[in-house]
Structures are given as structure tokens and as C-alpha cells.
Structure 1
């Protein structure tokens, strides 16, 4: 865990969406949408446009409640089991990943998303800048998965996955794909991507005729799950954070 912003940092002006992210409300990208939706007020006035800057001297409210910076950024690694949705709350009443970290005193939220039936490495934090860095495609943070797929993919199918699959009218970025195990009627692939499109790995495999039976994320950057059991979590160290950001010396 790390210390939070100091007084000098917070006295400086910063963009509203960055301020909201620093306060642990949401990632910077999601904070932008919250602003557009009219859920944020500054000094009593609703803000819906980007470009507004604020400091600690401004009154910022989200859904009518004052927003203040978190005292300390927190970073948590969770081994997500099946049967949990990756959201802070669920209108359908399903279990969420927040139920697995309900003993964490700080308010945190998931970075990115794993499907209901997808397992593995998930980060939760209150650091919006870190969340933005980890999920924005421009930063090219690798995510590595083990995917058990139906059938045995041919070399041609693997080649297509590596070169890019057309999804929603545009190709995926090249992926690292390795056949790590062959079973009687299925195979296990290790797939590394840096994009974060909706259900991307599942859709890529389905596009080459090998639907995913099981999917587990095993690494983000150079950070791996290690011996963390399903449903368990731990705090990340400074060295862990460097591994996510691609510092191999971390």
C-alpha cells in the first residue's frame, strides 16, 4: 500500500475526471461518463463538459455527496472464482467481487472486468490513474489467459489468432498464442493480448471455430497469480505495481 496525495499536490489544479479518479470514485474513463451524465457538481453547479479543473479548495459532489481524496491508494490482487460479477453492485442481486473483499476498510473498485464464468487475476484499487494506465489500450499492458477450447486448433487457426481477428468491423491487435496442452476433445491455449474489448478472448476463439469452455486470467503485465487460491486476495507491493506497468526489474 502507498501513501496518498500530499497537500502540495492537491492544491494544484487538475482536470475534474482526474480528481474523481484520485478520489477513488471510478477510473478516469468512467469518471468522464459520469460527468457527461450530469452526476457531478462543482461549487453547486452541474458539470457535463470535459475540461473543468478543480483543486482541494473546490466543493466537488458526486450524486449529491461531497467527494474528497482518498487518504491512501490501495492495490489488491484477487483470484476471482466463477459465479461472481465484476462490478461494485448488481441490480440482479448476484454476488459481486466486492463480496470477496468486504473486509477491506478502504473503498475500492475493480480494474477492468472478468466475465461471470471467467476466473483468475483481478486488480481492485482506489487509484484512478493506475486503473487508467492498466486498462487503456494505448499503454499496452499485457493480459495473459489460459483458455480451454473445444477441439484442437490447427496451425492455420492459431496463425489467425496471432495475426488478428475481425471483431465489430475492425481487427484485433496481434496476440501471442501458444498451444500448451492437447486433450482428447479440447486444447488449452495461452493467449496474451493488450486490448480490452468486450469478451475479446472468447470471441476470438469462437471466430476460428473453437469456442472457449473455460477461461482463466493468469497474469497482468509481469504480475502472476502465484499460489493465490480462488476467492483469496492480498495487497500488492510497490514491486508488484512495477510488474504490472512493465518494469521487469520490479
Structure 2
């Protein structure tokens, strides 16, 4: 027996939080009976579970790495008609997958998508401290003292940030900009941009280059690929606080 919201998330219906909202709203039935209790459990191999009258089916777990371009919304639909992640996946990916966390409209780079609700929840929960690395190109060149502030933690309006890893990646000889490699283990809204604003070096360009140890490799902007089993295991290890390396002979699926 499993919690109903977990079953729905694992079936690719939506994120676990959204599934809880569907249950609370009375849109979920188990054996033709409406269930609104979030603690309710069911057996997906025995019980008939439906959402808005449509029985769910267990979907194969799918794990996607996507190189998100700037100007793309990290959602599957957008009421304003803007370009979304789904627009880039729909020709090749028939299963319903959902972004693991978000990248801002103006942020590009590595985005994971999956229908594995459990893993997505673990990867995004603050208590698991999963590392995410960005290349932030900022106005002017921050002093070393500014990088030390980032490393110690920055006071934002929603509290102190956790210690980060920060180092110079590229510096303009004329001092007009610098690209800083920043690794954080949180996922607050616009956190990287706000951290640099706090040290008075606004972000010009922001790209996520790594998530839980996975990188873009040679994946072109706007392209996606399936993760290898070794890479999926690397994500699971990262969510459990275990550092692992993907074997060099593990070839990604295209």
C-alpha cells in the first residue's frame, strides 16, 4: 500500500504537491469512491485509481536532460502562449514528464525532467543539499571579499543563504564583467540573481552547467537526451548524500 499522492506522482499525473491538490479538490477516486484524505493509501496493482474519471496507468520511468535556451518557460503549458519546455520535447517524448525544479525565463542551461515523482521530490527538497552549479556573468569584476561573502552566505529578504562555492571562471581584462562559477545547495526563487544583486554585481547572463554532478557535455542548446542508468543512479546517490561518478564507458542515449 502506498500513499495516493505518491502513486499519482509516480504515474506521471503531476508533481506530488499538485497531486495533493487534486486529491483535496475531490478529483481522485479509488474503486469509484471519491478520496479527499491526503493520508489515504491504495494498491496501484489492485485498486482502480482515476483522476477526473480517467483511470491512471503506471508509466515507465523516464529521465530527460534538456539544455534550456533563454526565453523558454519552465512549464509544460503557458496561458500567455510563450515558448515552453514542452514545445521542445513533444515531438520525441510521448510520456508526461515534469521539470525538476525551475530555471527562470532568462536563465539557460541544464534542466532535468522526469515522471519519477519520488526522485524529483528528493532532488529539490532543501534537506538533501543537492548541488547545482551556475556560470553567472555579472557587471564589473567582484572583489575577492565579495566572493568570500557568497561562500559564507548572503543575507536576503527571506533569510541567510547556505554557504556556497564561488570562484572566478572568466574575467574581462577591461574589468567590465566577470563570469563566476557558483555552486549552491538550495533552490530559492531567483536565488543566484539575488545573491549577486546583494553584493552589487547584477547578473547579465546566467547558465546552469551542472545538477547533482550531471553536466551538459556537448548537448546543444534546445536539445535533449535520455539519461543513462548510471546517470539516474548518480542522481539517486546525490539525493541521498552519496558522491559518485558516472563510469566513463557509459554512453548517453540520444
TM superposition score normalised by structure 1: 0.88
Tell me whether 1:240 sits opposite 2:231 in the alignment.
yes
Tell me whether 1:119 sits opposite 2:108 in the alignment.
yes
Q: Distance in 2 between matches of 1:48 and 1:215?
A: 42
Contact kept in structure 2, 1:83 and 1:116, CA below 8 Å = yes
Q: Which runs of 5+ in 2 are unaligned?
A: 247-254
> 1:200-237 deviations in whole A, cap 9, x for unaligned?
11111111111111000001111111000001111101
Tell me whether 1:23 sits opposite 2:14 in the alignment.
no
Match of 1:188 in 2: 179
Find 2:150's aligned residue among 156, 161, 178: 161
Match of 2:38 in 1: 50
Q: Spell out structure 1 runs of 4+ moving beyond 6 A.
A: none
Match of 2:76 in 1: 88
Structure 1 residue 68 displacement after superposition: 2.0
Q: Distance in 2 between matches of 1:46 and 1:168?
A: 42
Structure 1 residue 19 displacement after superposition: 0.6
Q: Distance in 1 between matches of 2:25 and 2:186?
A: 26
Q: Distance in 1 between matches of 2:205 and 2:155?
A: 22
Q: Distance in 2 between matches of 1:85 and 1:112?
A: 12
Q: Distance in 2 between matches of 1:107 and 1:80?
A: 18
Structure 1 residue 45 displacement after superposition: 4.2
Q: Distance in 2 between matches of 1:24 and 1:172?
A: 32
Tell me whether 1:221 sits opposite 2:217 in the alignment.
no
Match of 1:6 in 2: none
Q: Distance in 2 between matches of 1:134 and 1:96?
A: 22
Q: Which runs of 5+ in 1 are unaligned?
A: 1-12
Corresponding pairs, count: 237
> 1:8-54 deviations in whole A, cap 9, x for unaligned?
xxxxx101111111101123233334434444333444444321111
Structure 1 residue 111 displacement after superposition: 1.2
- Residues 174 and 65 of structure 1: CA distance in aligned 2, closer, same or farther (over 3 Å): same
Q: What SS is found at the alignment partner of 1:229?
A: coil
Contact kept in structure 2, 1:27 and 1:129, CA below 8 Å = no
